[in-house]
């Protein structure tokens, strides 16, 4: 599916080029994506370990938000919030630092892919338990057949491309 989002993410470097010269449709579409995020007025961008760490920080830097990592167990030092979630076989857990955010802060959750939605759902619960407002989840890829969106309680998910 060659949506406008396809052009934005396949070369995120366009984001930087477009700030200097807005000459092509591809670059304009990337600007639209960035403006989409700025319009949402997020105070913070969270990225889910580890592939969310690749995309989350550049977005945070570009929109003037702080970056907060959501990590696997025992990776973060000090006091943490924990949220367990189910896997196909067994369970896993996400953690976030206590004090990483202030109550009422508007958060964007970034990961590379949404499949069953279990990880994103855990991330949302973690942030909401800490008092944040999850504005949106953003992923590069979605696997629609796994219906991950249905686990997110109506929270919007911004996806760039589908994996058929």
Residues recognised as catalytic? 51, 88
User: With binding defined as CB under 8 A, does residue 127 bind another protein?
Assistant: no
Q: How far is the CB of 76 from another protein (least distance, A)?
A: 7
User: With binding defined as CB under 8 A, does residue 116 bind another protein?
Assistant: no
60-68's contacts with Cβ under 8 Å and 24+ in sequence apart are 62/15, 62/34, 62/37, 63/34, 63/37, 63/38, 65/108, 68/44, 68/96, 68/97, 68/100, 68/101, 68/107
Maximum pairwise Cα distance, the chain: 50
User: With binding defined as CB under 8 A, does residue 87 bind another protein?
Assistant: no
Q: Which is nearer to another protein, 15 or 134 (CB)?
A: 15
Q: How far is the CB of 132 from another protein (least distance, A)?
A: 13
Give me the residue label for tokens 């109506």.
Answer: 154
- Give the DSSP letter string of 139-164: EEEE-GGG-GGGGSTT--EEEEEE--
Q: Residue 54: how many CB atoms within 10 A of its CB?
A: 14
| Spatial CB neighbours of 128, under 8 Å, sequence gap ≥ 6 | 134
User: With binding defined as CB under 8 A, does residue 21 bind another protein?
Assistant: no
- Which residue in the set 26, 31, 32, 54 belongs to the binding site for another protein (CB under 8 A)? 54
User: With binding defined as CB under 8 A, does residue 64 bind another protein?
Assistant: yes
- Which residue in the set 50, 87, 98, 145 belongs to the binding site for another protein (CB under 8 A)? 50
User: With binding defined as CB under 8 A, does residue 100 bind another protein?
Assistant: yes
Q: Applying CB under 8 A, which residues contact another protein? A: 12-13, 15-16, 44, 47, 49-51, 53-55, 57-58, 60-61, 64-69, 71, 74-78, 97, 100
């Amino acid at each position: 599916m060659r949506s406008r989002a396809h052009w934005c993410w396949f070369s995120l470097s366009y984001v930087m080029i477009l700030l200097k010269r807005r000459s092509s449709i591809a670059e304009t579409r990337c600007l639209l994506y960035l403006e989409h995020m700025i319009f949402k007025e997020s105070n913070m961008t969270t990225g889910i370990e580890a592939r969310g760490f690749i995309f989350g920080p550049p977005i945070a830097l570009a929109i003037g938000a702080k970056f907060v990592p959501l990590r696997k167990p025992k990776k973060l030092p000090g006091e943490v919030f924990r949220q367990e979630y189910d896997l196909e076989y067994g369970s896993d857990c996400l953690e976030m630092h206590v004090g990483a955010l202030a109550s009422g802060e508007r958060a964007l959750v970034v990961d590379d892919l949404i499949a069953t939605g279990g990880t994103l759902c855990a991330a949302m619960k973690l942030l909401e338990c800490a008092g944040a407002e999850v504005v949106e989840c953003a992923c590069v890829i979605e696997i629609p057949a796994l219906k991950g969106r249905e686990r997110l309680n109506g929270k919007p998910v911004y996806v760039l491309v589908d994996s058929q």
